[in-house]
Amino acid sequence: MSGRDGKGTRNELNEPLERRDRRGAGIGVVGAGFIVRDCHLVAYAEAAYRVVGITSRTLATAREVAALRGVPKVFGSLEAMLDDPEIEVLDVAVPPAEQPGVIRRILAHPRRVRGILAQKPLAMSYAEATGLVEACERAGVVLQVNQNMRYDPSVRALRGLIDDGRLGEPVLATIEMRAIPHWMPWTRGGRSVSTFIMSIHHLDTFRYWLGDPVRVLASTRPDPRAGFPHADGINLYILEYENGARASGWDDVWAGPAREGAGSDIFVRWRFEGTEGLALGDIGWPGWPERVPSTIAYTTTRDGGAWHRPAATATWFPDAFAGTMGGLLRAVESGEPPDIPGRDNLGTIALCQAVLASALGHQVARPDEFRS
């Protein structure tokens, strides 16, 4: 069973390409939250990437994470990190509202780094995201966006089946999430909770599988558990494609009153129907912090009704984080574009804006209308 990256390169389900293409460029990490501590740095260590140092708004937290994960240097500021000649690429892992300013500070520094791994959302609007992409291009800095669900092994394996034509022409793709996220404090007071924080994973995955849709119909309601005012909570959306394919996501962040005493039924699953085959996937992420492998099963019209169920050991959290950083490191070394470049990711930002506008305006939206 194989998958492909954005350029069609094969990678085995349990042997991600980044494990076989380790680079020695020095990495500086900006931010020291739980996702850095328990995902980024764990994945980088297992992939043998060279993390040189870390900085954070709270120096004590940076020191604690550095000691826990064996990061050799702690910098008192972003500028001090940028002064270090060992730092060649930066992993920016700060809240969305802070990220644009951090990237601008990086680009304004006299010593130029070679690459930046930015988190998603790259920015909370298409206009601001475009400005960041253009600024990186002018500075000659490679920009990769950490849309890490593309490196979930089942998501990547399905892309391989699509590229190989095993499933025929796409008919219907669905992702159903019944899972309870932990809303971080920085999500409060922003223009979007679910769309730009949770649904962005699935919307980008649909783009990875099918390309850009032409129309969106979406509905949303608040998450009853959130405990703070917000515009979008539980998101339901349908994406329409020019070739007739359809995609639909059910991003249920409530998932029933499991935390309030009822039994739970927590999962993230996807399904892909083509004219010549069917594939099913189960994302292991809701089992975090346990490492639960994602799975895939598929059947085609040429299989006589048989199902293929390749065994998997890789997980989304934390394994996929080595994939997105690996894509940046390969691009920096080769001079080729990264596999999730900032300019392509603008399409995901436009799609998020279209979903949010459709849901709040109770009308069909076209993502192209938000590309400005």
What single string gives the DSSP state of each residue in 188-241?
TTSS-SHIIIIIHHHHHHHHHHH---SEEEEEEE--TTS-S--S--EEEEEEE-
What are the structure tokens assigned to 230, written together?
A: 């917000």
Q: Is the pTM of this model over 0.85?
A: yes
Helical H runs in the chain? Answer: 34-35, 41-46, 59-69, 78-83, 99-108, 126-139, 153-164, 194, 200-210, 320-334, 342-361
- Does residue 155 register a pLDDT over 50? yes
The amino acid that residue 349 corresponds to is I
Q: Which band of pLDDT confidence, cut at 50, 70 and 90, is reported for residue 107?
A: very high
What are the structure tokens assigned to 104, written together?
A: 């601008």
How is domain 153-316+348-370 classified at the CATH fold level? Dihydrodipicolinate Reductase; domain 2 (3.30.360)
Q: pLDDT digits over 6-57, tens only? A: 333 334 455 444 443 444 899 999 999 999 999 999 999 999 999 999 999 9
Between CA 300 and CA 322 the distance in angstroms is 32
- Mean pLDDT confidence for 338-352: 98
Cβ–Cβ under 8 Å, residues 267 and 285:
no
Omega cis (within 30) before 289: yes
Q: What is the pLDDT of residue 21?
A: 44
- Mean pLDDT confidence for 294-301: 98
Query: What does the domain layout of the chain look like in residue ranges?
Result: 2-148+322-341, 153-316+348-370
Between CA 96 and CA 85 the distance in angstroms is 27
- Mean pLDDT confidence for 151-175: 98
Q: What is the pLDDT of residue 4?
A: 36
Same fold, 2-148+322-341 and 153-316+348-370: no
Q: pLDDT digits over 219-246, tens only? A: 999 999 999 999 999 999 999 999 999 9
Cβ–Cβ under 8 Å, residues 365 and 357:
yes
- Mean pLDDT confidence for 289-296: 96
Question: For residue 291, how far is the Cα from the chain centroid?
Answer: 18
The amino acid that residue 206 corresponds to is F
**What's the chain's average pLDDT?**
94
- Does residue 2 register a pLDDT over 70? no
What are the structure tokens assigned to 91, written together?
A: 């992993």
CA proximity to 142, closest of 111, 107, 187, 110 = 107
- Mean pLDDT confidence for 80-106: 98
- Does residue 291 register a pLDDT over 80? yes
- Does residue 297 register a pLDDT over 90? yes
Q: Does the domain made of 2-148+322-341 have the CATH classification 3.40.50.720?
A: yes
Beta strand 267-274 pairing with 277-283: antiparallel
Q: What is the pLDDT of residue 7?
A: 37
Residue 3's DSSP bridge partners are 11
**Dihedral sign computed on CA atoms, order 106, 108, 112, 117:** positive
Angstrom CA distances, 192 to 151, 335, 359, stand at 25, 35, 12
